[in-house]
Amino acid sequence: MEYIYKGKEEGCFICKAVSQKPSSKNLVLKKFNRVLIIMNRFPYNTGHLMIAPIAHKGDIETLTEEEKEELMEALVESVKVLKKTMKPEGFNVGINLGRIAGAGLDQHLHIHIVPRWGGDTNYMPVLSETKVIPQHIKATYRLLKQAFEKL
């Protein structure tokens, strides 16, 4: 409902987050030299993370070799942290390239990492188009932030 009532955010939320110190307000978990790890404010599942280059780039072809390496490094680190703290049974990892492909923010490339558990899809999204997230996003942030700091 927050998403519906708030409406579309002006500007690039990733760029806004880049300019700020990581916090539970902007949901940034970690910054590398060229990329950052941020929680999805409107997650598909608990622990849904996104990894994005710090530079505002919408096309995968424009990434430097260093950005590609760091994106993969952040992906591996994110999977490690999620496995350790949330114990998922699997993951969906993907990039939506272009609005027609489902990118809500198509001007700033980002990788989605969605932890999955058996039974996490049930009748709620199928029948009522409602997703149940069992943990408040701020509690998930605190848990994951501590895990990234320990890694």
* Beta-bridge mates of residue 36: 31, 52
The span from the CA of 90 to the CA of 117, in Å, is 7
Active site residue 48: no
**Residue in 74, 70, 110 with CA at minimum distance from that of residue 94:** 110
DSSP state of 30: E
Among the options 48, 56, 108, 110, which is catalytic? 110
* 108 close to 91: Cβ distance less than 8 angstroms: no
Beta-strand relationship, 35-39 and 28-31: antiparallel
- The answer for 28, left when phi > 0, alpha when psi is -120 to 50, beta otherwise, is beta
Q: Which residues are catalytic?
A: 110
